[in-house]
């Protein structure tokens, strides 16, 4: 009897405890997939009214390929789980990616993929007959398992080309007959793909292109002979250390030689394109065929990356001629957004080409004739100070252009131009908040839109353009919103503050659930501060969001800023402000902004403020601690570049020049130069298997700090890469270590003023 009456009370206590716990975060929850958004796709528009996507078969993890009528939502299974069964494997294939044949009757399936540096680009490819009459057939013949890369259909759908072991192959789909187009592939002769630095800094992976008529293949060849090898040490695989060599050109050292060749798809001699200059002192980061298959469009840069030339390369003779060129005092970004038009000209966006000297130098667009005869032919004389982010659709018949632009720098908005391309049909579709990405249909009438905001998970829906009328909701992430809604949260806000030179810097703040401005609070600042990315965007991004939310629960205000040089849509001059002053100008902005925020907010405890960042943000953390030693009480630097001469040629020379020519720039831009100034508590974190920012960076900083008698804490993760997430428990351990350091060095929670 006594125990019976106690049970309800005990159960009530347990339930209350579970509810309280559900609202609190910890390192394990932050590092888990509990708050990951529901996957959609990869989706492919099949035509103007249909798209395809992958969906799990009910009750299984097997992904089936499904086709939808976009507006009605009528669903049809195109590839069932049964069609993916392979007897030899005794299982169904897992679709990692897919491509329809030109006639829509077959499917190329990518599966059993393996990671190559950053992405899963090596694996198995199967051809699947969509009639379902035959089981999938593996490509590659006797080539070892999971060695094929970038397989793609010929324009007529009868063949597939791919890369294997640094050689380019073509295989007949019907017969399996293979032709090896290159035969010199080796560790240092790389055909059809790229070396480490091209992949990392130019995002080059797929290194060959079918000609539109299917007669030829153009491909990149890199010769990495003479490129320095960085030796990483694997101490986990065996009792004896294993040396892992990576060819990695550090700033000012030898690059791979790069050239582009054209070979008949049936085999034969390669014709090399005659691009100018020493191939080890120039870059060829982009190449595409002209629609008539006679020429290639090749983007060429000198090593300094301050002069971009578009060359027309004759596919038969290799002779090149200049179509278009741009120069910049700092550097010229390569273009990924060109589009061929019906008359053989192409659309191009630029920071400089269309600047008329009036107003801010924003990214603009126009058309460039393939055969330039009299300068540029422009569709649009830019009349608004909106920085172009992305071109979504070009209709040369209507005519009409849809693009996203930066009106509010933390958000992304849609704009339309037409009918003569000198008329703006619509002001930007400015929402109160949020970020929107679009995958437009071939006719630009519909789009799959992904919309989210800083603290709101994404909704994927189908909308009509340009007014964005919602046709159907595809993924609502309602369950995720409900789960995240149970988390204890304070308010969030975006703000602006003035930087060192009077520029307006954008920022965000996350507050503790019990925030009271009448008390004094510690602040943790998150920094990146380099040209590669920005941190202040009004979109759902779980990269470190949950960690920051956890810090607010522990009793910290968390803030972030985008200083000059980050790629916010604020014009060319803003984006390129860090040329030859990385770490210098941005840290000056941060110092001015933090001091201004302290003046504005009496609740900010100047003695309890910390900064942390990763990679470029790790370097910026060190820059702030060393250059402004009284600004922060503590800093956490993860995977930092400590001496910029230790980083790679393409990235570091783009922003700082060649160290052989500008040694003082490299000295002034490297945080290690000022290590003697450290006063704050420092936690230094690095993965010993980091192929990107080598562990060497942290070792050299340790050596300098010891020499200067500066105390610090250090955490090394064996064999972890730049992501520091490999092996069980790694990311949870990292977040827990960061939170522990903070609480020891910058006590959490409010205090009386």
Q: Strand pairing partners for 230? A: 246
Query: 172: pLDDT confidence band, cut at 50, 70 and 90?
Result: very high
CB atoms within 10 A of CB 736: 17
Residues 632 and 605 sit within 8 Å (Cβ to Cβ): no
Mean pLDDT of the region 542-550:
95
Please say if the pLDDT value at position 3 is more than 50: no
User: How do residues 597-649 score in pLDDT, each as one tens digit?
Assistant: 999 999 999 999 999 999 999 999 999 999 999 999 999 999 999 999 999 99
Q: Tell me what pLDDT residue 385 has.
A: 53
Q: Tell me what pLDDT residue 373 has.
A: 38
Residues 81 and 92 sit within 8 Å (Cβ to Cβ): yes
* DSSP-derived pairing of the beta strands 75-79 and 85-86: unpaired
Nearest 5°: the CA angle 628, 630, 631 is 70
Residues 110 and 88 sit within 8 Å (Cβ to Cβ): no
Please say if the pLDDT value at position 20 is more than 90: no
For residue 705 the two structure tokens come to: 């700090």
DSSP for 73-90, please give it. Answer: --EEEEE-TGGGEETTTT
On average, the pLDDT of the chain sits at: 90
DSSP conformational letter for 481? H
Of the two residues 380 and 196, the one the predictor is more confident about is 196
Domains of the chain, CATH where assigned: 182-327 (no CATH), 490-746 (3.40.50.1820)
Mean pLDDT of the region 22-27:
94
For residue 427 the two structure tokens come to: 């002001």
Question: Which of 3-12, 19-28, 454-463, 581-590 is the least confident region?
Answer: 3-12
Question: Which of 39-48, 229-238, 291-300, 488-497 is the least confident region?
Answer: 39-48
Query: 726: pLDDT confidence band, cut at 50, 70 and 90?
Result: very high
Q: Tell me what pLDDT residue 342 has.
A: 74
Nearest 5°: the CA angle 190, 194, 199 is 160
User: How do residues 424-477 score in pLDDT, each as one tens digit?
Assistant: 545 555 555 788 899 999 999 999 999 999 999 999 999 999 888 999 999 999
Question: Which of 57-61, 311-315, 376-380, 583-587 is the least confident region?
Answer: 376-380
Q: Strand pairing partners for 296? A: 289, 313
Half-sphere exposure (CA, 13 Å, Cβ side) for 124? Answer: 17
Q: Tell me what pLDDT residue 429 has.
A: 55
Please say if the pLDDT value at position 108 is more than 80: yes
Query: 663: pLDDT confidence band, cut at 50, 70 and 90?
Result: very high
User: How do residues 509-541 score in pLDDT, each as one tens digit?
Assistant: 999 999 999 999 999 999 999 999 999 999 999
Calculate what percentage of the chain has a pLDDT beyond 90: 78
Please say if the pLDDT value at position 219 is more than 60: yes
Question: Residue 646: is it exposed, middle or buried by C-beta count within 10 angstroms (0-12/13-18/19+)?
Answer: buried
DSSP for 506-548, please give it. Answer: EEEEE--TT--TTEEEEEEEE---STT--S--SS--TTTHHHH
Please say if the pLDDT value at position 19 is more than 90: no
For residue 321 the two structure tokens come to: 């001629």
Please say if the pLDDT value at position 661 is more than 80: yes
Residue in 525, 531, 500, 502 with CA at minimum distance from that of residue 654: 531
Mean pLDDT of the region 396-400:
72
Q: How far apart are alpha carbons 285 and 195 in whole angstroms?
A: 12
For residue 684 the two structure tokens come to: 């230094």
User: How do residues 280-308 score in pLDDT, each as one tens digit?
Assistant: 999 999 999 999 999 999 999 999 999 99
Calculate what percentage of the chain has a pLDDT beyond 70: 90
Model pTM score: 0.93
Query: 352: pLDDT confidence band, cut at 50, 70 and 90?
Result: low
């Amino acid at each position: 009897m006594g125990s019976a009456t106690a049970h309800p009370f005990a159960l009530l206590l347990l339930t209350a405890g579970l509810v309280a716990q559900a609202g609190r975060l910890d390192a394990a929850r932050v590092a888990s997939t509990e708050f990951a958004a529901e996957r959609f796709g990869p989706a492919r528009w099949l035509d103007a009214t249909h798209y395809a996507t992958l969906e799990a078969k009910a009750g299984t993890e097997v992904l089936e390929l499904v086709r939808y009528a976009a507006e009605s939502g009528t669903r049809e299974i195109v590839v069932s789980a049964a069609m993916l069964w392979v007897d030899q494997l005794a299982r169904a294939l897992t679709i990692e990616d897919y491509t329809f044949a030109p006639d829509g009757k077959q499917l190329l399936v990518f599966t059993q993929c393996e990671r190559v540096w950053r992405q899963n680009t090596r694996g198995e490819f199967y051809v699947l007959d969509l009639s379902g009459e035959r089981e999938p057939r593996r490509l590659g013949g006797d080539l070892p398992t999971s060695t094929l890369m970038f397989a793609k259909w010929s324009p007529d759908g009868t063949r597939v080309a791919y890369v294997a072991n640094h050689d380019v192959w073509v295989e007949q789909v019907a017969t399996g007959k293979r032709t090896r187009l290159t035969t010199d592939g080796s560790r240092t002769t790389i055909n059809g793909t790229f070396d480490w630095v091209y992949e990392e800094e130019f995002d080059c992976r797929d290194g060959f292109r079918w000609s539109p008529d299917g007669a030829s293949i153009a491909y990149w060849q890199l010769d990495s002979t003479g490129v320095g090898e960085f030796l990483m040490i694997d101490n986990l695989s065996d009792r004896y250390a294993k040396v892992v060599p990576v060819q990695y050109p550090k700033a000012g050292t030898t690059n791979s030689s790069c050239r582009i060749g054209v070979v008949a798809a049936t085999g034969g001699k390669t014709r090399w394109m005659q691009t100018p200059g020493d191939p080890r002192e120039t870059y060829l980061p982009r190449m595409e065929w002209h629609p008539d298959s006679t020429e290639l469009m090749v983007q060429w840069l000198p090593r300094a990356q301050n002069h971009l030339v578009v060359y027309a390369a004759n596919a038969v003779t290799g002779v090149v001629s200049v179509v278009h060129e741009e120069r910049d005092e700092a550097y010229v970004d390569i273009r990924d957004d060109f589009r061929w038009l019906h008359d053989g000209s192409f659309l191009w966006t630029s920071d400089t080409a269309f600047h008329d000297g009036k107003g801010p130098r924003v990214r603009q667009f126009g058309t460039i004739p393939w055969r330039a005869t009299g300068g540029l032919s422009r569709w649009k004389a830019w009349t608004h100070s909106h920085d172009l982010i992305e071109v979504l659709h070009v209709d040369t018949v209507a005519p009409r252009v849809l693009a996203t632009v930066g009106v509010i720098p933390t958000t992304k908005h849609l704009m339309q131009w037409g009918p003569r391309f000198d008329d703006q049909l619509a002001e930007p579709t400015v929402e109160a908040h949020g970020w929107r990405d679009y995958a437009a249909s071939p006719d630009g009438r519909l789009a799959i839109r992904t919309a989210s905001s800083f603290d709101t998970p994404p909704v994927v829906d189908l909308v009509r353009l340009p007014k964005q009328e919602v046709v159907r909701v595809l993924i609502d992430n309602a369950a995720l919103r409900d789960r995240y809604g149970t988390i204890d949260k304070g308010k969030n806000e975006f703000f602006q503050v003035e930087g060192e030179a009077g520029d307006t810097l954008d920022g965000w703040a996350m507050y503790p659930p019990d925030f009271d401005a009448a008390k004094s609070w510690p602040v943790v600042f998150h920094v990146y501060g380099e040209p590669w990315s920005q941190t202040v965007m009004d979109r759902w991004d779980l990269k470190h969001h949950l960690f920051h939310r956890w810090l607010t629960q522990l009793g910290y205000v968390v803030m972030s800023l985008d200083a000059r040089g980050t790629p916010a849509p604020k014009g060319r001059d803003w984006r390129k402000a860090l040329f030859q002053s990385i770490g210098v100008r941005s840290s000056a902005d941060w110092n001015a902004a933090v001091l201004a925020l302290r003046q504005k907010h009496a609740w900010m405890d100047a003695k309890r403020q910390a900064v942390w960042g990763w990679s470029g943000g790790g370097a910026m953390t060190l820059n702030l601690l060393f250059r402004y030693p009284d600004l922060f009480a503590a800093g956490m630097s993860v995977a930092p570049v400590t001496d910029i001469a230790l980083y790679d040629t393409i990235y570091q020379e783009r922003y700082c020049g060649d160290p052989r020519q500008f040694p003082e720039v490299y000295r002034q831009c490297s945080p290690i130069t000022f290590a003697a100034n450290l006063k704050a508590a420092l936690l230094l974190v690095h993965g010993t298997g980091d192929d990107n920012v080598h562990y060497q960076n942290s070792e050299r900083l340790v050596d300098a700090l010891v020499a200067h008698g500066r105390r610090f804490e250090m955490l090394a993760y064996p064999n972890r890469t730049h992501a520091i997430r490999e092996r069980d428990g790694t990311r949870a351990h990292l977040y827990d270590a960061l939170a522990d350091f903070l609480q020891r060095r910058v006590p959490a929670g409010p205090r009386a003023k």
